[in-house]
């Protein structure tokens, strides 16, 4: 019985680590996208910047 409790405890820890890793990667991706958008907006006029951002989003997903 104790062995099962340890297994369940380990599974919970692994699941929490995986969820944290996914959330962390989402945050990193969001920061990268924001930086890329700021770069594009500062580099191109507004109409062209919007087209470039749409293209970038299509490629990213």
Residue range 19-23: mean pLDDT, rounded: 83
| pTM (global) more than 0.85 | no
Secondary structure (3-state) at 59: helix
Q: How many Å apart are CA 38 and CA 40, to the nearest integer?
A: 5
pLDDT of 61 above 70: no
pLDDT of residue 60: 64
pLDDT reported for residue 2: 79
**Residue 22's pLDDT band (boundaries 50, 70, 90)?**
confident
Distance separating alpha carbons of residues 38 and 33, to the nearest angstrom: 9
The first and second tokens of residue 37, run together, are: 């958008």
46-60 vs 2-43: helix axis angle to the nearest 10?
150
11-29 average pLDDT score: 83
> Domain segments of the chain: what residues?
2-60
CA 14 – CA 10 distance, rounded (Å):
6
């Amino acid at each position: 019985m104790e062995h099962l409790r340890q297994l369940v405890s380990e599974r919970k820890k692994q699941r929490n680590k995986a969820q944290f890793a996914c959330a962390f990667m989402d945050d990193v991706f969001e920061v990268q996208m924001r930086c890329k958008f700021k770069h594009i907006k500062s580099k191109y006029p507004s109409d062209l910047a919007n087209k470039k951002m749409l293209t970038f989003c299509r490629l990213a997903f």
